[in-house]
Amino acid sequence: MAANGKQKAASGKQKAVVKKATKKVAVSTKKAVSSPAGSEYPLRSKRRLETRAALIRSAIELMQKHGFDAVTMQQVADNAGTHAQTLYSHFPNKYSLSAAASVESLRAALDKRKTDTLTFWREWVRKRTQEVASGEGATALFGLLEDTLDKPRFALVQLAISQEYVDVLTTSLAADFGLDRNIDLFPKLVAQMLMAASEHSIINWHNSKGEFDLLAGELSGIEEVAQIVELACAAKGISIKKKI
């Protein structure tokens, strides 16, 4: 009888220990699931962003100095002081790296903006177009378009750049609309319309050998998109937020 009592007591203690451990695991799992991605590792996320920025700076420096074709991924990694594997974990190929480098100034400017994305984009495009629509800028742009149309590899670069622009604009527009870009398609549709409007004007300018008014075409395209956005937001009950 005494032995049975001891066995029951031991069994009860074991059950209590198992129950306590199970409860700890459940609590731990709940915390892991409910915590936002990266919130438990802010230092790791910061380092990853810093590494990405360093790789982009390295790519810009080398490509401006030697040209796109002459620069290798290994050279970009070496110049940034990191391993090639780290570079590939951020950018799967040179096209995506070049695209990210091309839109980095846009990304930085959007982070500092104090107005809605459409207003910002209108002024950004105005400034950029004025820089390239005449003189040496126009010659460089025309040459780039000729290369893009004649050489598939340059077309791939331009496609990657366009996709990167869409991604950056989608994030910014989603914040304006108060929408989750991963759930609601609307911000990405607007971003794609903005890029399509710009590309339409640039192609018209190229086909007319520079006779087409590129700036007027760009601004007109943005205005058309803005009108569509206004109607869509009214229909969806969306108020566009301005970043202050």
Q: What is the pTM for the complete model shown?
A: 0.66
Count the residues in the chain.
244
The answer regarding whether domain 94-236 maps to CATH 1.10.10 reads no
pLDDT reading at 173 higher than 60:
yes
pLDDT reading at 56 higher than 80:
yes
Running DSSP on this structure, what letter comes out for residue 212? S
pLDDT at position 144 is 58
pLDDT at position 148 is 59
End-to-end CA distance of the chain: 78
Please state the domain extents for the chain.
Answer: 94-236
- Residue 25's pLDDT band (cuts 50, 70, 90): very low
d(CA 100, CA 94): 10
10 Å Cβ neighbour count for 86? 15
Residues 6+ apart with CB under 8 A from 115: 242, 243
Segment 113-124, tens digit of pLDDT: 889 999 999 999
d(CA 55, CA 76): 7
Closest by CA to 169, choosing from 109, 239, 244, is: 109
Question: Range with the lowest mean pLDDT among 132-141, 151-160, 219-228?
Answer: 132-141
CA distances from 106 to 37, 95, 112, 120, 128 (A): 25, 18, 10, 10, 11
Whether 186 contacts 236, CB under 8 Å: yes
CA distances from 98 to 37, 69, 139, 195 (A): 27, 11, 21, 18
pLDDT reading at 27 higher than 90:
no
pLDDT at position 79 is 94
Segment 212-234, tens digit of pLDDT: 999 999 999 999 999 999 999 99
pLDDT reading at 108 higher than 80:
yes
d(CA 121, CA 127): 10
CA angle 97, 103, 108 (to 5 degrees): 120
Whether 133 contacts 215, CB under 8 Å: yes
